[in-house]
Each structure stands twice: as C-alpha cells, then as structure tokens.
A and B are shown apart, each in its own frame.
Chain A
Amino acid sequence: MTHTLLQTIITIVVMMGVLQGACAYLIYVERKVAAYMQARIGPNRVGPFGLLQPIADGLKFLFKEEVIPGNVDKLLFLLSPAVAVGTATFAFAVVPFGPTSNTPGEYQFVIAPGIDIGILFTFAIGSLAAYGIILGGWSSNNKYSFLGAMRSTAQIISYEIPLGMSILGVVLLAGSLNLERIIDQQVRDGWNVFYQPLAFLLFLLAVMAECNRLPFDLPEAEQELIGGYHTEYSGLKFGLFFLGEYTHVITTALLLSVVFFGGWYFPGIVGPESGIILKLLSIWLKALAFILFYMFIRWTIPRFRFDQLMGLAWRTLIPLAMVNLVCVMLVKEFRLSLWLLPPTSLALLLGATVLSLKYPQQPRRRLLTVAADGQPAVTTAR
C-alpha cells in the first residue's frame, strides 16, 4: 500500500507544484468570477484573456519591497506567514486527489497512503493555521492586525467544533478515519451526502468559516479592519498568506468531495476498467464545483455581524451536529435502515429553521450613555 521513496518524492514535488499553480490560477478565476458577477471584464491585460496575470502577480510579489515596520516582534513577524502556508500545505498530506485502491502494488493518488488517522490529521494540522494568524496579528503591533487576529482566532476555534462533530457521523458509517476507506465505503453504499445531508451542510458552513471565505470573512473585513491580521505584511510575505488561504480552499474542496461525494467514485466509474483519467476528472471536477460554489457564495451573501457569526456556530451548528451524531449512532446500534437518516436530517433542519424563526436572535448590546455633568454614566442592557 505504501509508496516507495522515489514515488513519494515525485508525488510530493508534483503535488506542491500543482497546488501552487492551482492557487495562482484560482486567484485569477476568482477575479474573473467576481468581475462577471459585477458586470465587469476582470483581468485582461497580461496575455490572452489575462491568462498570464497570475505569473505577473507572482513576480510582483517577489520584487516588491518587504516592509518590516520598526515596532514589530521580528521573529514572530517572520514566522507567521511561514506557519500559515506551511500548515495549509502540510494538511494536504493525507487527502486523496485521485483514484485509490486496496490492490497492493498499485499507485495511490495520495501523498501518504494508508494513514489510519486520516481526517483527524487534516483537522489537527489545519487548525494550527490559527497560530499563523494570531502570531501575525500579535507581532505586527498594529491595532487593526490585533483586532483581526483576535476575531479570526475566536472564529476559527468556534467553527472547529461543528467541523469535527459533523464528520463523526460519516466516521461511524465508514468505521474508519482513513480517507481511502471512507471512499471504499461509499463505493459500497453510495455517496455519504445521501445519508448525511445535514452533516454535509454543517461541514460546508464550517469549512467556509475556517477558510475565512466571504460570508465569514470577519477577520479581514476590509471596510472595518483594512486587512485584518495581514495589514502590516507586504511583498512575498503577504503572498504567502494568500497562498495558504487558497491551499486551504483546495484542501477543503477536495475533502468535501472525498468525504461526502465519494471522491473518485461516480456511478459507473468504479472498477479498474474505467481508467485513471475518468477517476481523476471525477474527483477534480467535484472539487472545482465546490470552489466555484465558494466563489459564487462570496458575491451573493453579505458579511455576517460578529455576534451572528458566533451565534451560528455555538447555538445552531453545534447542537445540530450533536443531535445528528446521536441519530447516526441509534441507527447503527439498532441496525436500522440507513435510509432513515435523510428524513431525520431533513426533520432536524426544518426544526432548527422553525425554532430560529420563532426565537430570532436579538442583538444584545450594552448601551452606554455618556456621563452628563454631575451624573454617573448609565449602562443599560437591551
């Protein structure tokens, strides 16, 4: 099952190249999508249709001056972008990006095949990205960076919990954390999204928040925080933050397609006779669909308010994930039909909707009236 040393090194080199190329071109795609959704043309100056734009951007990143402000904590300031891009790339180690099989001797499209902790590894390393952000924000010694980093960390650790909890149902169904085995189970039983639609929704929301994608991009809210935690970064260090973010997007899109949409498995594309190309196409098209979905969402839904953001994680996603887990557990324990799960998910979703419409979340702020002459300041809760 494991690769030889040479295979490993070739896979790593090729995949790092693919990841960086894909990140560069995703930024181009993102700009094009944004442009078309706002009735603009988008980048079209460098090369035909602006196709060389990512290369020009990369060169510009490299040749721009790296400003290191005088009052920063230099070591942490330099460490932070490296941590951000390093953890995002490292989390990719166990994610299948092509056909995998149990046949010994066959090439597996994973950097490290047969890792039993699989998805746990991805979560563990992926959540280290919070360090990159908080180190960057703290060391910058800039108020915008600091506020952005605090917000971002609070957001990332809050959404970590629904992220991990929603996956537990799938793990119960597959009986393994190993991503290749999760695909195998879906080849047997069909895509997990049919059994776990609610978990899929929770996972999708949680990864969007983890990637700081737009409805959840409070940490970088340009209008209020300039750039959030990377306000003070310039040149290639800023580019590294960007690279880390887009690597995260690719990883999570692949994870979504692997965990809920069967990875390389598509009805009809099963056995060895369907060939590697079709399976590769199957997994990457699914991932691309998710990436495009992120981009469309970005220009469709406005940004949340921060208390709504935290409320969504703590008061909606976590209880839903917990109840969903109990449902899967009951079905598995009493050996009921797996087809009981989708109606349960639907019922839970409807229940949550009804409850949240019945008890809408009020913004509760302390209103502070400024002290008038001779009178103390009054705090009232609304």
Chain B
Amino acid sequence: MQSFDLATYYPIFIFLVFVLGFAVTAMAMAHLVGPARKTPVKQMPYESGMDPVGDARQHFDVKFYLIAILFLVFDVELLFLYPWAAMAYREGNEALLPAELRGPVFVVVLVFLATLAIGYVYAWRKGVFQWR
C-alpha cells in the first residue's frame, strides 16, 4: 500500500504561480504596449455593422438549464465511480480491497449503475435528450 505524501503536490502550486504570473503579465503587457484611441463607434458592440437593438442579456432557452442539471447528475455519478475504479482491481501486494469485500463491492457498483441506467432511460423517454 502506498503512503500518501502531500509533498508530491508542491510542483503543482509552483506551476500555478507561474501560470497566474504569465496570464497577468500578458494582460498587463497588452494594456501597456498597445495604443488606445477610443472613438464612439469603436465602443459599440460589434453586430455586423448594425446599431445594436436592445440589451444582449435577454431571456434564454430553458433547455440550457436542463442540460446543466443533467450534467450535474452524471458528473457527480462519475465522481463516485473514480475512486472505485482506481482501487477495485489492484492485484497482489497493492490490493486495497479485502478479498471478502470484492463480491459485495461488485454488486453495489452494479446496483449503482443500474439505478443510473433507469434514470437515463426515464430521461430519454421524457424526451430530455431531444434538442428542439
């Protein structure tokens, strides 16, 4: 069994600092180097040469909301599956799951997937996946 060592994660944080530094520098450079001559026409939103009518932030279709809910359902389900997938079938001296638990875990995961499949079929029959 491997021990968990938080120290292996430190390069990630250093990388994060570099990435943030790069993004901020790039934005600052763009602001400082490029010219800035504002004219009223340039300040308008670009709508293919037409004067914009109304605000862009209008009501939008509810189906986007539906997709977001479905995404949440399936993504959370995926998050449950990841730890199981990483540990379930390790062999030999790396095995994390006691031998007597393998059967029950298998059944539990099957039940979990079956529940998900039922939900999926229900959503399909309800026509949720029909983008219209």
A residues in contact (CB < 8 Å) with B = 1-3, 5, 8-9, 11-13, 16, 62-67, 69-71, 78, 81-82, 85-86, 89-90, 93-94, 111-116, 120-121, 138, 140-146, 150, 153-154, 157-158, 160-161, 164-165, 168, 171-172, 175-177, 226, 231-232, 235-237, 240, 306-307, 310-311, 314-315, 318-319, 322, 325-326, 329, 332-333, 364-366
Q: How far is the CA of A226 from the CA of B27 in the complex (A)?
A: 24
With A82-B23, A150-B60, A171-B85 as known contacts, state yes or no: A140 contacts B45, CB within 8 Å: yes
B residues in contact (CB < 8 Å) with A = 2, 4, 7-12, 14-16, 18-20, 22-24, 26-27, 29-31, 33-37, 42-48, 52, 55-57, 60, 64, 67-68, 70-71, 74-75, 78, 81-82, 85-91, 94, 102, 106, 109-110, 113, 116-117, 120, 124, 129-132
**Closest approach, in angstroms, between the C-beta of A267 and any C-beta of chain B?**
24
**Closest approach, in angstroms, between the C-beta of A148 and any C-beta of chain B?**
11
Query: B14: which of A8, A311, A333 is its contact (CB, 8 Å)?
Result: A8
Q: Which of B7, B46, B88 has the most CB of A within 10 A?
A: B46
Query: B57: which of A8, A90, A115, A141 is its contact (CB, 8 Å)?
Result: A141
With A154-B67, A164-B75 as known contacts, state yes or no: A318 contacts B120, CB within 8 Å: yes
Q: Decide: A112 and B11 in contact? CB cutoff 8 A.
A: yes
With A141-B57, A236-B26 as known contacts, state yes or no: A150 contacts B34, CB within 8 Å: no
| Residues in chain B near residue A111, CB distance under 8 A | 11-12, 15
- 21 A–B pairs (Cβ distance < 8 Å), ordered by A: A1-B8, A5-B14, A11-B11, A12-B11, A63-B33, A65-B35, A81-B23, A111-B11, A112-B8, A140-B56, A142-B56, A158-B67, A161-B75, A164-B78, A168-B82, A175-B89, A232-B45, A236-B34, A310-B129, A322-B113, A365-B132
Q: Which of B4, B52, B67 has the most CB of A within 10 A?
A: B67
